[in-house]
Structure formats: structure tokens, C-alpha cells
Structure 1
Amino acid sequence: MARLANLETEYPVLDSTVRNFCASHGIFSVEDFLIHDLYMLAAFAEQNDSSEGLKEGIAQVLSIIDDMHQPWLNGMELLEDAKRNKHVFPTGIQGIDLLLGDGTIIFWNHLVLYLDTGNSFSPQRIAYFLGKTINPSSAQAKNQFLQKVMSNISCHSVFDMFAMFDVLHQLESYLRCQDGRGGCQMRLLIVDSISSLISPVLGSSSTQGRALMTSAGYLLKKLAHQHNLAVLIINHTVGGEGGYSKPALGDSWKCIPHSRLFLSCDRGSNNYNVSILRHPSMGSLLTVLLKKALALQVSSVNTYISRSAEASQKKLRR
């Protein structure tokens, strides 16, 4: 956490008098307040000639600490927040929507931020998918619709963790200013892919990489929760035991996303498999089998839903 000496510019009440008083009690940072007896500190402040200024400084630091954690909420408050503010986006593919739990349809009048870490963003591909999901009455209507959707997508190229943090902090400031205002709001953040940023800084002999990964996960979850964003994070796969693929970011990352889907391809049958690795309300054995057509045309996907249960499998076909 920040040192008190670095906070005076933003909080003038934390002047040299307050800092010297705190230093005399072994307090040099906001973190030091968390392990100090605040009642004793307030009592010492009362005995000082500058007691009013000191009490204002102590109150300011406590306010900073309060802003750093989420407020306590009971079950009913959480339920109301989920009903009022939390949204689930349809993917356009019914089988995957079933895996994710489906939800309220948020149509095209929202902003999307796409963080591209490998120059993989393709506007032509997006235009192709949009063309398959709408049936406009004329070519002009189709072009107007396409322009509206594409103008709501903002793509930023980021090639290292610090560039991503930069963009995310700018996004946080922007969203904080936009909250409560009308107009077009951001509802989707895509990071494609986060593993290509984190993998280079992960090392067995250093904890810095894992600390950066944890900080990135915390910031993404904070944005999702506080500003009601849907956050889609791409994590590539690597070879695992027995020749099977596994997520590149392993155990340290798996607890960060709310839901994790594992996509794989059976080259023998040309089927794509989508399995749940983690979900807050669904079992991890649910799998969707998507025909090869997924890569070619969304509307012609044949989807098979299969649930694994002990010795038998039940299939639900769309």
C-alpha cells in the first residue's frame, strides 16, 4: 500500500505534521494503520496541540482503507444486485449459452473493449459472424447495422503486462466517470490472450510473475463486479501428462475466473469439444460437442449436449 509521504498531493490533510506524528508511532504507510491500535493512536492525538488536524488525518487514512475493500453485503443485497446489475451475454451459439447458464440478452447498443496481445483481431471475421446472425431487409440496412456495431468495438494492442495494466487503469477511470450517466455504456471486455502476456514473466525462481498474474486477475474481477462488465479472457493450452492438453496458466490462475471453458478439437472426427472446467452453479462434467461447421458458419452448427454420469451418458440434441 502507499506510503503516507506519497499521498499529500492527493490528500493535503496528510501534511508533515500528520506524517511526523504517525512516524513517531511507527506508522509510515497506509498498511501500518491496519496493524496499529487505532484507539490508542486517537488517544495520543487528543493530547497533541494539533489534535484537530491529526484526527482529520487519521480519518482520511481510514477513509482510504475503506475505499480499498468491498462493503459488507447480506444475502438479500447480493441477490438484488445480481437481478438489477449483473448481465449474462449470449454467445450466439445455443450450446455454449447452455454451458454458461444463458441469461439476459444484451443487444448491440453497448461498447466493447478488445485487448489484442497477438495481432489476432479480425474485423472481417466479426463482420462475417454478424452477417450470419441478422436478416436485414436491404443491403443498406445491413451496412448501417454493421457500421453501428463495429463503431462500438474499440481494439487496443498490448504486448506486455504493464501495457495491459495501463489500459485497464485508464478503463477503470473512464468507467468511474461514466457510471450513472446515460448513453452507450461498456458491457464487454475481451483479453485475447492473457496467457501470452503472463507466461513470459512466470518463473520458478521468482515470485514477481505470479504477483503480476494475481494483480491482473484481481483488477479484471474488480472491473467486472463494480462496473457490471462481462469479461472474456483467452488462455491458450500446452501439452500435459499423457499427451493431453491443459490450460497454460495452471493452478494459480484457475480460481480467478468465475467460469472456465476448455475448447479442444478431435481431429479424427472433426468435432470441437467445449467442456466446463469451473462454473459457480454447474457441474464440471458438462460437455458440448460442436461440429466442424462452427469454424465456418455459426447458424449451421449442430450441437450435442452430453452429461457424464458414472457409467452412462445421456445426450440432449438440439
Structure 2
Amino acid sequence: MAPLKALEAEYRILDPNFQAFCASHGIFSVEDFLIHDLYELAAFAEQQPTSENLKQGITQVLCIIDTQHQPWLNGMDLLDDALHNKHVLSTGCEGIDLLLGGGLREGQLTELVGPSSCGKTQVCLLAASNVATKHMGNVVYLDTGNSFSPQRIAQFVGHIAGHAFDEAGNIIFQRIMNSIVCHSVFDIFTMFNVLHRLVINFPSQLQKGGQVRLFIVDSISSLITPILGNSGSQGRALMISAGYMLKKLAHEHNVAVLVTNHTVGGERGIPKPALGQTWKSIPHVRLLLSCDHGNNVRSISVLRHPSMASGKAAKFSI
């Protein structure tokens, strides 16, 4: 993303005074801006003689982030990229894989929506285990609610391999477990930081043969909901930026991105995905997960998909 100095000619509010203020906090580009706590930055701005101009500058940068778009690509470029670079990764859940035509597609942001305790985390853990075991890929798992379970991962890995690992198989087991990296993330700024470091390290990962194939955020709503409260346009801009960065990671580095989202009460008491209309347009694929009370059967249906009709559904158990 652009250095702040390069934006001064077009946006006069981003003058040398604003740039100096940002530089004093280690901010030199729009990308640096994204990984800082804006509440803290605004508080520092309040203490300055030119606080109003500084706050206008902060808002202007957020507007710039809001208008970021991917470059234009023609149909043949997109088709060639989809056929040769965007592979399908099995989740390990037969019902979900059949519904999606094989599983999660690299280059796409897939959102799994559902009420509390319906199995969203279990699907994430199973997908992480399957990608690490069968696709020999690295997985980055952002845990926002202390729900990541290495014991459950180990169970899934053993089941996928078809047996409990004996002494000779422990090396393989350790490789699989080591390829799943979990970060505890409790605010959106930490997520931006993880994304920033991940993108920087991608060239070295490719050289070592350790490319990240799957990136999981469980749950994205836990990170975004707090910033939407009373922060107005800033919260909305940060939400859009989060979606933009996740989609950019997916597209440019051929990564399958899976995020979970909770449900809230809608019209006539019918549950609907949280985060509102603005977020609704961000995921490529939206899936609704629900459970039948009294048994282990889960239902999953398509809310949105670029190549299939909404409403298509399947049942499965984990």
C-alpha cells in the first residue's frame, strides 16, 4: 500500500504535520496504519494542538482504505488462474465436500455462519487437520476465543490417517502437528499484524516448500463486533479493510481462507449472520451451519456461492 507521503499531493490534509505525527508512532504507510490501534492513535491526536486536523487525517486514511480495489483482470486471466492455481482443498467432512464440489477453494474467502455450539470450531479443526495431513500444506489458525484444541486435532489426524500412530509413524505425526500454527488473537489490530507478517514471509515459505494452504479465523465476528459499537465510520472502514486483506491474501497467494461468524436475531426472530449488510458482500462463499437438537447431525446450506444456487444443503456428523 502507498506511503503516506505519496498521498499528500492528492489529499492535502495528509500534510507534513500529519506525517510527522504518524511517524512518531511508527506509521509511514497505509499498511502501517492498519496494524495500529486507532483508538490509541486518536487519543494521542487529542493531546496535540492541531488535534482536529490530525483526526481529519485519520478519517481520510480510513476512507482511502475503504476505496481500495483489486486491479482489473480480464475473463481469460481469471479463468487461467482458476484452472491452474486455485485448487480445491478437502475439509475432511464428506457432507461439506460434496456440497462444495470438493471442498474449500484456494483464492476464495469462505464464511461459516452459525449459532453458538453448532460445530463451527469442529469444522475448522477438521479442515485444518485434513489439509495438513492429505494436502501436505501449512495451516495458520487464528483463535479468538481460546477454542483451539490440539487434542482434537490429534484425534482427527489419527482418524484421517486410518490408524493410531505407532513409534515409526511419530515423525509423520509430528510433521503434521508442526504444520498447523495457532495464534491467539483477541483484537483486529493483532490480526492485521499477523497478516502483515505472513505476507512478508511468503517468499521464504515457498523456497522452503512450506507454503500456507489454509488460513482460518475462528471467529471473525469476535474481532469485528467490538469495533462496530460506537466507532462509526472508523469501525466500518476497519471491517472492510479486514475483508480486503483476507481476500487479497487468498487471491495473490493461492490460499483458502475460512472464517466463522455467529448469528443474531433478525426479522420475526429468524437468525441471520452478524456484521450486517456491509460485510455480507465480502465473502465469496457463505455457508449456514445448524444442528439438530438431541443428536450429532449437522445441517449445512449455501447462502451465497459464485457458481451454485443458494439453498443447496447437506447433512453430516463429526
Compute the TM-score of the two structures, normalised by the length of structure 1.
0.67
Q: CA deviation at 1:141?
A: 4.2
Match of 1:125 in 2: 152
Q: Does residue 174 of structure 1 match 2:201?
A: yes
Amino acid corresponding to residue 278 of structure 1 in structure 2: R
Q: Deviations over 1:5-53 (max 9, x none)?
A: 79xxxxxxxxxxxx9xx69x97978xxxxxxxxxxxxxxxxxxxxxxxx
Between the aligned partners of 2:240 and 2:97, the Cα distance in structure 1 is 28
Between the aligned partners of 2:277 and 2:247, the Cα distance in structure 1 is 17
Query: What is the DSSP-based 3-state SS (H/G/I as helix, E as strand, rest coil) of the residue aligned with 1:277?
Result: strand
**Number of equivalences:** 238
Between the aligned partners of 2:190 and 2:165, the Cα distance in structure 1 is 42
Q: Does residue 110 of structure 1 match 2:112?
A: no
Match of 1:34 in 2: none
Match of 2:220 in 1: 194
Between the aligned partners of 1:236 and 1:277, the Cα distance in structure 2 is 14
Q: CA deviation at 1:69?
A: 6.0
Distance 1:70 1:257, change over 3 A: closer
Aligned residues of 2:215 and 2:256 also touching (Cα < 8 A): yes
Amino acid corresponding to residue 254 of structure 1 in structure 2: K
Between the aligned partners of 1:71 and 1:205, the Cα distance in structure 2 is 30
Match of 1:183 in 2: 209
Aligned residues of 2:158 and 2:164 also touching (Cα < 8 A): no
Structure of larger gyration radius? 1
Q: CA deviation at 1:80?
A: 1.5
Q: Which moved more, 1:266-275 or 1:102-111?
A: 102-111
Q: Deviations over 1:290-312 (max 9, x none)?
A: 2xxx24xxxxxxxxxxxxxxxxx
Q: Does residue 206 of structure 1 match 2:232?
A: yes
Match of 2:248 in 1: 222
Match of 1:77 in 2: 77
Aligned residues of 1:259 and 1:278 also touching (Cα < 8 A): yes
The structure with higher relative contact order (CA 8 Å, sep 6+) is 2
Match of 1:310 in 2: none
Q: Does residue 277 of structure 1 match 2:277?
A: no
What is the CA RMSD across the aligned residues, in angstroms? 2.9
Amino acid corresponding to residue 134 of structure 1 in structure 2: A
After superposition, residues 1-318 of structure 1 pair within 5 angstroms as 2-4=3-5, 70-102=70-102, 107-136=134-163, 139-179=166-206, 181=207, 183-203=209-229, 206-267=232-293, 271-290=297-316, 294-295=317-318
Q: Deviations over 1:111-155 (max 9, x none)?
A: 111111111110100111111111259612443332111010111
Amino acid corresponding to residue 173 of structure 2 in structure 1: L
Distance 1:5 1:76, change over 3 A: closer
Aligned residues of 1:100 and 1:259 also touching (Cα < 8 A): no
Aligned residues of 1:136 and 1:142 also touching (Cα < 8 A): no
Between the aligned partners of 2:242 and 2:183, the Cα distance in structure 1 is 17
**Unaligned runs of at least 5 residues, structure 1:** 7-18, 30-67, 296-318
Amino acid corresponding to residue 207 of structure 1 in structure 2: S
Identity %: 57
Distance 1:108 1:142, change over 3 A: farther
Match of 1:15 in 2: none
Q: CA deviation at 1:108?
A: 4.0
Aligned residues of 2:299 and 2:315 also touching (Cα < 8 A): yes
Aligned residues of 2:224 and 2:239 also touching (Cα < 8 A): yes
Distance 1:256 1:138, change over 3 A: closer
Q: CA deviation at 1:232?
A: 0.5
Between the aligned partners of 1:178 and 1:87, the Cα distance in structure 2 is 18
Q: Which moved more, 1:112-121 or 1:248-257?
A: 248-257
Between the aligned partners of 1:161 and 1:234, the Cα distance in structure 2 is 14
Between the aligned partners of 1:186 and 1:221, the Cα distance in structure 2 is 15
Between the aligned partners of 1:205 and 1:161, the Cα distance in structure 2 is 14
Distance 1:138 1:204, change over 3 A: closer
